[in-house]
Structure formats: C-alpha cells, structure tokens
Amino acid sequence: MSDNGFGALQGLRMIELGQLIAGPFCGQLMADHGAEVIKIEQPGSGDPMREWGRNKPVWWPVIARNKKSVTLNLRVPEGQDILRELVRDADFLLENFRPGTMEKWGLGYDELSKINPRLIMIRVSGYGQTGPYASRAGYGSIGEAMGGMRNLAGDPSTPPSRVGLSIGDSLAATYATLGALMALQRRNVTGRGQVVDSAIYEAVLAMMESTIPEYTEAGFIRERTGSILPKVAPSNVYPTKDGEILIGANQDSVWTRMAEAMGRPELGSDPRYSSHHARGENQEELDELISAWSIGFTSKDLLDLMEENGVPAGKIFKAPDMLEDPHFKARDAVVKVEHQSFQNIWMQNAFPKFSETPGEIHWPGPELGAHNEDVYKGILGRSDADLARMKAEGII
C-alpha cells in the first residue's frame, strides 16, 4: 500500500473521481494528512478547477495539493477496466458525479465491492443517492438554499445572500471526510467497506442548529438578522475611526468589564443592561450607545483596550491581514508553497494540528497527467508501449 511518510492517514490510498469542489475538497483534506490520493481526470481537459481563481487560476494549487494526477477516460470500457484494477488495492473511492453515473459505467458499489470488499465508496451529490430529487443536478448554491442557510445569510433588508464562499460544497466534502473515517473505523472491526452518502443539502441542514424545533415547538421561523445575534447583546460589528471591529460582551461579567473600559461603570448595573434578558430587550439602543463611543478610537487602540479589559474582540480579517498577523505566523496557519508557475503563492495550511502526526503540504496541484507513469507503471505494471498505445487511443 501507499506510504507518503507523513500524517495520520499515511498508508491509505484514495482514488478520486469527479471534479469541482464537493468531492475534491474531501480529497484535499485526506491528502493533507498523508493519504495517497490518485486523482482521475479526463484526458485533454481535466478538472475545471484548473481554470478557477480571481485574476489568476490559483484555486487548483490548493484543492489538488498533495494529490497525484492521472488521466483516464472512464467513458470507454478499457478506462473502466483500468479503474477496476486501481480499486483492487484502494481503501477509498471518492466520486461526486450525478447519481447513477457510476452505475451506468458498471462501476457502482455492488460491482466494485466484489473486486475489493474492503473498499469504502464516498459519494457526494446535491441531494444524496436516494429520494425523488436524487437524479437532479445539484450545485452547492442550491443545497445551501434547500438546507436553510441562504435564507439566514445577509441583512433583512436584502434578498438572501451568498456567504462569499462555496460553503455548501465544502460542508458536504467535510461530512464526506468524516463519514469516510467513521467507515474506516468500522472496517477495522468488520473487515468490510461500505458506502458513505454525503448530500450537500443535508450537510448544510446539519449546521442549522435549532431552527427546526424552534418552528415545530414554538412556531418560530428564523429569518435574516444581519450582523447581530438576536436578543444577545452586545455582540455586533462596531465602527472605529479606520474601520469596524467585532465585539462580543454579551455575558454579564464581560459586559461589566466593558462598561468599565468605556468609562461608564454604572452601565454594568443599569437595569436596562445589567442582565442578559435586559440587554437583549434593549439591544438596539445598547448598540447605538456603544457605536457612539467606539467611533472615537482607531481600531488598534480599541482592540488593545478590549484586550486589557478581557473583552472578546477582533478585527475583520482579509488576506493581507492574515499574512501579517503574528498569531497566524506563530502557528504557520498560512504557508508559502513552491510552484513552477506562481512564484509567490501562499495558502492555508493543513488543519487540524496534530501533536504526533501533523498534516503537511508537499506539493501544489500538479499538471494534468503528471503521475501517469508513477501510477500506471509503478502500481499497475504497465509498459512504456502500453502507455503509448493508451495515449494514442485517448484512454489516458
């Protein structure tokens, strides 16, 4: 089996099919922690993520880092046979095609598990592998809407907003990773693999806290609230001379300390603000009071004052802030990665951190088919002549 020599998942092999984010982010997480991830891409075109990024195509180096790129045409019988060979010694097969695609190619779990009963098949889709919507095309945005997140994102005065990230896809991939590791633990007991079915809308739904019982038990439907946490105050974005910062002083003892920092210790015992319930009822006027005070400070001075008084507060980070921040630097949260085309590419590190088997980034997303020889010759024992023929015939 594979041994990349680092990470908690070293010795495990994943075959990654599919494209874009919902599946490949799962592969990224596994590769970050040492699994050998062999990414299968369509000859000549590859994953569309190779072209994604603002101003430059720099998403691929992140989402395909530590992976091996192999080209293989799964739409032809010989390509399907080659995948079956790869599956024989794999621990995981990851795919995020529309449900039914793998079965159409004769590569459903019923068939693949006959070749390798220990195989764990990770399936990511918009609506899951079953149910009346299963065959629909499902993008992350639709899953975010169906799972309830879009309705809660943004300000009440605007239509439902996107959070600025492909969060539905990434959540589905994260749950797929969690499910894969659960299935791996179960395989350690039974010796058998199984299917992990991660739906985008369900991954989003899992994040919806108590929104459903709030409705079924209390008849309450949550709606957009913008930057506040309703009835929890003060907890908001507050203005300064040079920008905005977040302050969360909603606990009674913390609010008392903040009142002292404001030079208004009497506010700590004021009946309008002295209890959690009272501050919630007077949330708007309390936020106005704090805003009128905070605007007199620079963001740095206000953050320093909050820290001195034990009040949770923080700046709203953008990429330049992350690169300059001493805490990010101390924990290597963002790292520079060597790349043959991009000379100054930084990216988020592998998380979470481990005391004994940390994740690492050994190489960025590779060129299309960069590992064809490593995989086809090294793992499957194909000859140079075989590779030349398969390439000429469009199989790889």
Active-site positions? 169
| CB 176, CB 24: distance < 8 Å | no
How many residues in the chain?
Answer: 396
Which residues, 6 or more positions from 325, have their beta carbon under 8 angstroms from its beta carbon?
317
Q: CA angle, 296 as apex, 291 and 297 as ends, to 5°?
A: 100
Establish how many alpha carbons lie within 13 A of residue 252's alpha carbon, considering only the half-sphere containing its beta carbon: 9
Long-range contacts of 114-119 (CB under 8 A, 24+ apart): 115/84, 115/87, 115/88, 116/87, 116/88, 116/89, 116/90, 116/193, 117/191, 117/192, 117/193, 118/91, 118/187, 118/191, 118/192, 118/193, 119/87, 119/90, 119/91, 119/92, 119/93, 119/193
